[in-house]
Chain A
Amino acid sequence: MTLDWPRILDLLAQHVQLSFAALGLALLIALPLAIWSVRSRTVASVTLGFASLIQTIPALALLALFFPLLLALSTVFGDAISPLGFLPSLLALTLYALLPILRNAVTGLRSVEPAMVEAADGVGMTGLQKLWLVEAPLASPTIMAGVRTAAVWTIGAATLSTTVGQPSLGDLIFAGLQTQNWSLVLAGCLVAAGLAITVDLLLGLIESGIRWRRHKRIWGAGIALAAGLAIALWPAPQSDKPVVTIGAKRFSEQYILARLIGQRLEKAGYAVRYREGLGSAVVFRALATDEVQILVDYAGTIWTNEMRRQDPEPRADMIAAIARWANAQHGVQLVGALGFENTYAFAVRPDDARRLGLRSLDDVVRVAPQFVFGTDVEFLERPEWQMVQAAYPLRFKGRRAFEPTFMYRALALGEADIISAFSSDGRIAANGFVVLEDPKGAVPSYDAILMVSRSAAADPQLVAALKPLVGAIPVEKMREANYRVDRDDDKQSPADSAAWLDEAISTKPSSPSPQGTNR
């Protein structure tokens, strides 16, 4: 698989912008705080305590926590505050960079010898002159060491900003992880590591330049850093075509469908950008705020997560209700259902199914105490699991959460005995897993639905380009496309698989039945 270098360079530029902005903001906050802290023990214990506390929060959680916080603020201040993308990433990374800068600056300023302070006072320096001419220069090597630590941390943690919708090198890592495209993961890691090492080296040159008073070295490294930032900020050549942003969650099907839509729109004369790897909690919000214009989501997800409904409805009524709600609440237009469903499908190994006579979830109730339940990381927190539990009294021996990729392997290897698989996933059939029936209809329907934001809905040409996809993708074709990306041998990229899928649904007229599900 070849790497898409223009995209990697674009992500690198975004990564540089984000991490430099966070580092700069952290410096602006931490340095005055450090000066204040050195003059007051109380302030020092408060600021250092706060910065240490922040550091104990995992970076991923810190990023995620800014979403509800900014969401609440945006209801007060309006659209100026976006809970997605650059702002939450900037704030979380800035907080994360505070500690090393603050701690080193306080240590550096405190370690200025009393004789230096007495001499500075003795020659008649004012407080500011003392700080600027004596304390700051003498503490600067220690401060720079802290800045270097902060820079490396920030560049590393910035990969996580992908999850809140900020493009970064993390896009490559998350996409590669979900599609088991290790060369993509490696590319993301190596470019991020290369950036971190380069910035660290340049800051190291500035540090040694300050220590040994080599002004040329300081200037050289400073100019190199500034040039790097300038290149990152240089606006990409603007195409005169209208630009559409397509959003995708973090699994193969989403990557493939985003490319399928993107390829069709490019043919229709649009310039396409992708915002991939979005968390499923933020993705609809991104559509509602017009940060992405096109999204494929699933009826049951909108029904339970966004509309907070738990009452099952017939599929057609459900889609109609979603269309009314999305338009009325968010100006989002539902273009139509794609023709397949991706629901939660409880799957077991074929030998277990035969030996224990498992055909439906009712049968599982009796063997559950001997079974380990494998799920994706979010299923146990989702309302669907509450609904399943309400319908079937399942008491499992244990539960384990996996990234989707590893969930199927866990079932195959016996690490789990039953999994909450996805019905359109090609790995179910490839492994011969048996999907259990849901006779009580506890799981709502998950028709894949194509939605466009307010601005895209106003573009009839765009909507017209998307219309042919409605009802066009049968589940067998989607499974095959997914499997092309997910299988271990002869792996394809989501873009290649999307091209195959486009071909497959164009040549053979698609099955008119939207009932292409496994149920």
Chain B
Amino acid sequence: MATSPSFSRPASARGPAVAFEGVAKAYGSTVAIACVDATISPGTFVAIVGSSGSGKSTLLKTVNRLIEPDTGNVRIDGADVASQEPHQLRRSIGYVFQNIGLFPHMTVAQNIGIGARLATGKPLAEARVATLLDLVDLPRDFAARLPEQLSGGQQQRVGVARALAGEPGLMLMDEPFGALDPVTREALGEQYRALHERLGLTTIMVTHDMAEALLFADRVWVMDAGRIAADATPAQLIAGGCGAEAEALVAVPRLQAERITAMRHAEGKLGA
């Protein structure tokens, strides 16, 4: 996304560390998170992958307390998230999710400025809205539009701008690009990764797309039946030896890539 010298977060800043300590959650007899102990170092981009029902979204939502764990703690830079009022906690964490959730009765500017309005009662300054629109590569005159006048990809860019408006150090993304077409998803993923770098964020992103995880994340957590079955770098995952669940998930994009390469080779030979 576009360079924007006026975005005030200093480049040297680093997002916080996040730690899960014995976090578990069950709905009746269904175990959503078995028992998770894991840490994320400052400024890391972690992707959580796994099949449906593996507990990846549940784990993500324990960080901003949209879901309260039955046992265990989540700490951000050492502070237990349970020690803060949920709404106070959430205002300091960026949150982007698949359904986007732009408020249909508010303009783009009002959506982006909602955090400022909640905290101070005043709308966000026009210049600041413009900066945030620049950041997510949207024209500035979109500020006055309503969400329904935007395409799905444009709406999610506004969703990202809204999440970044409060200058959070930590971003939680729950299948953020899942509902978008592949071209838009790729472009947005790429641009977000660049933003993550430039703003020095800590990002936790849940995705069901293994290729997305491998291409954009620093670390990938493979979840299975409520546990983290593998915690590795993309390179390590591709090299193999990270367990059966990880192998199965990595196999899909690898096989697709090999088949596409094979097709191109075949075509090349025919052309020759």
Q: Which residues of A contact B (CB under 8 A)?
A: 115-116, 118-126, 129, 133-134, 137-138, 213
What CA separation (Å) do A123 and B89 show in the bound complex? Answer: 10
Contact A137 B105 (CB under 8 A): yes
Complex Cα distance, B102 from A134, in Å, reads 11
Q: B80-100, CB under 8 A of A: which get 1 and which 0?
A: 000000111111000101011
> Are the CB atoms of B105 and A123 closer together than 8 Å?
no
Q: For A120, what are the chain B residues with a Cβ–Cβ distance below 8 Å?
A: 101, 103
The minimal Cβ–Cβ distance linking A436 to chain B, given in whole angstroms, is 74
- Chain B residues near A115 (CB-CB < 8 A): 97, 99-101
- Given A115-B99, A118-B99: A123 touches B162 (CB 8 Å cut-off): yes
How many angstroms from the CA of A122 to the CA of B171 in the assembled complex?
11
Residues of A within 8 A of B146 (CB): 213
In the complex formed, the residue of A with least CB distance to B165 is A123
Q: Can you name 29 A-B residue pairings with CB atoms under 8 Å?
A: A115-B97, A115-B100, A116-B101, A116-B103, A118-B66, A118-B97, A119-B97, A119-B100, A119-B101, A119-B103, A120-B101, A120-B103, A121-B66, A121-B86, A121-B90, A122-B95, A123-B114, A123-B115, A123-B118, A124-B88, A124-B115, A125-B87, A126-B87, A129-B87, A133-B114, A133-B117, A134-B103, A137-B105, A138-B105
A residues less than 8 Å from B89 (CB atoms): 124
A469 vs chain B, min Cβ distance (A): 67
Q: Which 9 A-B pairs have the closest CB atoms?
A: A119-B101, A124-B91, A115-B99, A124-B90, A122-B95, A124-B87, A115-B101, A137-B105, A126-B87
Task: Report Cα–Cα, A213/B107, bound state, in Å.
Answer: 11
B62 within 8 A of A: no
User: By the criterion CB–CB under 8 Å, are A122 and B66 in contact?
Assistant: yes
By beta carbon, the residue of chain B nearest A210 is B105
B64 within 8 A of A: yes
Q: Which residue of A lies closest to B64 (CB)?
A: A122
Given contacts A118-B99, A122-B66, A124-B115, 11 further A-B contacts (CB under 8 A): A115-B99, A115-B101, A116-B101, A118-B97, A119-B97, A120-B103, A121-B66, A121-B86, A124-B86, A124-B88, A124-B91
Give complex CA distance A115, B99 in Å. 6
CA gap between A75 and B157 in the complex, in Å: 68
Check B243 for interface membership: any CB of A closer than 8 A: no
B186 to nearest A CB, angstroms?
24
Structural contact, A138 and B95, CB atoms closer than 8 A: no
Nearest B residue to A119 by beta-carbon distance?
B101
Q: Is the CB of A122 within 8 A of B105?
A: no
List the A residue with the shortest CB-CB distance to B92.
Answer: A124
Q: Which residue of A lies closest to B98 (CB)?
A: A115
* A84 → B minimal CB distance (Å): 46
B53 within 8 A of A: no
Contact B118–A119 (Cβ < 8 Å): no
Q: Is B253 an interface residue (CB 8 A)?
A: no
Contact flag A123-B100 (CB < 8 Å), given A118-B66, A129-B118, A138-B105:
no
B87 cross-chain contacts in A, Cβ below 8 A: 124-126, 129
Q: How far is the CA of A105 from the CA of B248 in the complex (A)?
A: 50
What is the CA–CA distance of A465 and B62 in the complex, to the nearest angstrom? 86
**Across the interface, which residues of A come within 8 angstroms of B240, CB to CB?**
none
Q: Which of A119, A126, A129, A213 touches B102 (beta carbons < 8 Å)?
A: A119
- Closest Cβ of chain A to B155, distance in Å, is 12
A117 to chain B, nearest CB (A): 9
Residue of B nearest to A118 (CB): B101
Write out the residue numbers on chain A whose beta carbons fall within 8 Å of the beta carbon of B91: 123-124
Q: Could you say which residues of chain B place their CB within 8 Å of the CB of A137?
A: 105
- Among A115, A121, A213, residue most surrounded by chain B Cβ atoms (within 10 Å): A121
CB distance from A119 to the nearest CB of B (A): 3
Q: Which of A125, A126, A213 contacts B105 (CB 8 A)?
A: A213
Do B99 and A125 touch across chains, with their CB atoms under 8 A apart? no
Q: Which residues of B contact A125 (CB under 8 A)?
A: 87, 118
Closest to A134 in B: B103
Please give, as numbers and ranges, the residues of chain B lying within 8 Å of A124 by CB-CB distance: 86-91, 115, 118-119
Instruction: Give bound CA distance, A118 to B175, whole Å.
Output: 14
Chain A residues with CB under 8 Å of B66's CB are 118, 121-122
Shortest CB-to-CB span from B108 to chain A, Å, is 14
Shortest distance between the CB of B42 and any CB in chain A (Å):
22
A125 CA to B146 CA in the complex, in Å?
A: 21
Min CB gap B145→A, angstroms: 12
User: Is A123 touching B99 in the complex (CB atoms < 8 A)?
Assistant: no
Interface centre among B87, B95, B97 (most CB of A within 10 A): B87
Binary contact readout B16-52 vs A (1 if CB under 8 angstroms, 0 otherwise)? 0000000000000000000000000000000000000
B90: A residues at CB distance < 8 A:
121-124
Distance (whole angstroms) from the CB of A128 to the closest CB of chain B: 10
Cβ–Cβ < 8 Å partners of B102 in chain A:
119
Cα–Cα, bound, A446→B99 (Å): 79
Q: How far is the CB of A113 from chain B (nearest CB, A)?
A: 8
Chain A residues with Cβ below 8 Å from B95 are 122-123
Q: Closest CB-CB distance, B184 to chain A, in whole Å? A: 19
Question: How far apart are the CA atoms of A202 and B66 in the complex, in Å?
Answer: 41
- Inter-chain contacts of B118 with A (CB < 8 A): 123-125, 129
- Complex interface: chain B residues within 8 A of A122 (CB): 64, 66, 90, 95, 97, 101
Most buried by B among A119, A120, A133, A138: A119
Nearest chain B residue, comparing its CB with the CB of A121? B66
